[in-house]
């Protein structure tokens, strides 16, 4: 597959749009309270937080082709570990984040050894089964709150003096984390490792014949993908001062799959768009349709699976409303099923 990512106008165009989006996100808090209510900052924050996880999800599901139906386990672990560390150890956000990353690295390594034995449906089952274990544990373990979860989590500090309980520092912290995550994910995708992952998605046998140890690479991307989820969970524990066991729930894992599919997997930008759509549309629909909004979201999702399996990025690139967009979401670094 031609990789037009290396040099050429596509990249410079994409850089331009990335920079523009980043600029908008950086300037967004300035308009808060003047142009729109503070509520939209909270909404954007949710997108930033889940966006980090979705980048990791895309590395695994979109690039390597292994859809995880239990990604909430990394998210939940990141949230629980961070919340516990802020309560009992230190109020530094870094301590919580590193501990979460550490535990998730162990989980990702151990489970990676097991899930790597399976593909497609069985991979979905295994990831589902393991996340189920975490849900059951969190739900019945009194020490970490049982069914109530952890409540009244103290707000962590970025550096002594700057509390992340304040909206603005937390916004920029999350934005910074997402930017780093995006940069890392983009580096991975464009690396040799990333190209081999795409190869595994298309034809694992051939990748093996070329001498690559594909199970090792799958384990590696599974672990990396989990680390993205961990950071996301840590930030969520900071955003909302409670961690319920539902952070491990199947329905959350399902929502991640939905975000990925709606946006279009294997593009990095797609899952981010999917996250934004699900969160913004969810808010919009819930004000307009009251309780019926989830029904409409589910319906939209069904329509998307039936008529545009490649997600919204595909629709946009098909419509080619603007050449710029189509170049951004176009052939650049996607690997559709065509082989």
Q: What gap in Å lies between CA 312 and CA 335, rounded to an integer? A: 15
Stretch that binds other proteins, among 8-16, 80-88, 127-135, 326-334 (CB under 8 A): 127-135
Examine residue 254 and tell whether it contacts other proteins (CB under 8 A).
yes
Stretch that binds other proteins, among 5-13, 39-47, 124-132, 276-284 (CB under 8 A): 124-132
Examine residue 120 and tell whether it contacts other proteins (CB under 8 A).
yes
Q: What gap in Å lies between CA 225 and CA 53, rounded to an integer? A: 8
Least distance in angstroms from the C-beta of 67 to other proteins: 5
Query: Which of 40, 94, 109, 128 touches other proteins (CB under 8 A)?
Result: 128
Residue 263-282 contact track with other proteins, rule CB under 8 A, x = bound: --------------------
> Which is closer to other proteins, CB of 86 or CB of 301?
301
Stretch that binds other proteins, among 6-14, 114-122, 153-161, 317-325 (CB under 8 A): 114-122
Stretch that binds other proteins, among 18-26, 122-130, 160-168, 223-231 (CB under 8 A): 122-130
Examine residue 306 and tell whether it contacts other proteins (CB under 8 A).
yes
Q: Are 4 and 335 in contact (CB under 8 A)?
A: no
Enumerate binding residues for other proteins (CB under 8 A). Answer: 67, 69, 114, 117-118, 120-122, 124-126, 128-129, 132-133, 136, 139-140, 250-251, 254, 257-258, 261, 291-292, 294-295, 297-299, 301-302, 304-306, 309
């Amino acid at each position: 597959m031609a990789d037009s990512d290396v040099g050429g106008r596509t990249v410079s165009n994409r850089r331009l749009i990335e920079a523009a989006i980043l600029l908008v996100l950086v300037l967004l808090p300035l308009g808060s309270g003047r142009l729109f209510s503070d509520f939209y900052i909270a909404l954007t924050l949710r997108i930033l937080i889940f966006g980090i996880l979705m980048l990791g999800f895309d590395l695994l599901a979109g690039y390597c082709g292994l859809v995880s139906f239990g990604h909430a386990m990394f998210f939940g672990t990141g949230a629980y570990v961070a919340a516990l560390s802020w309560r009992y150890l230190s109020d530094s956000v870094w301590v919580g984040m590193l501990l979460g990353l550490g535990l998730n690295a162990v989980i990702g390594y151990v489970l990676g050894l097991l899930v790597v034995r399976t593909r497609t449906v069985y991979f979905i089952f295994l990831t589902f089964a393991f996340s189920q274990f975490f849900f059951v544990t969190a739900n019945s373990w009194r020490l970490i709150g049982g069914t109530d979860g952890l409540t009244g989590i103290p707000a962590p500090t970025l550096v002594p003096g700057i509390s992340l309980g304040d909206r603005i520092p937390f916004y920029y912290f999350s934005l910074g984390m997402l930017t780093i995550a995006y940069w890392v994910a983009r580096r991975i995708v464009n690396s040799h490792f990333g190209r081999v992952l795409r190869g595994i998605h298309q034809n694992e046998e051939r990748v093996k014949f070329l001498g690559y140890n594909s199970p090792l690479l799958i384990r590696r991307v599974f672990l990396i993908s989990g680390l993205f989820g961990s950071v996301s969970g840590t930030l969520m524990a900071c955003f909302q001062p409670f961690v319920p066991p539902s952070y491990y729930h199947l329905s959350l894992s399902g929502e991640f799959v939905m975000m990925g599919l709606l946006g279009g997997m294997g593009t990095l930008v797609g899952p981010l768009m999917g996250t934004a759509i699900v969160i913004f549309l969810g808010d919009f629909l819930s004000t307009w349709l009251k309780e019926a909004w989830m029904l409409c979201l589910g319906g939209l999702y069904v329509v998307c699976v039936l008529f545009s399996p490649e997600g919204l990025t595909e629709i946009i690139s098909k419509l080619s409303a603007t050449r710029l967009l189509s170049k951004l979401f176009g052939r650049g670094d996607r690997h559709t099923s065509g082989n």
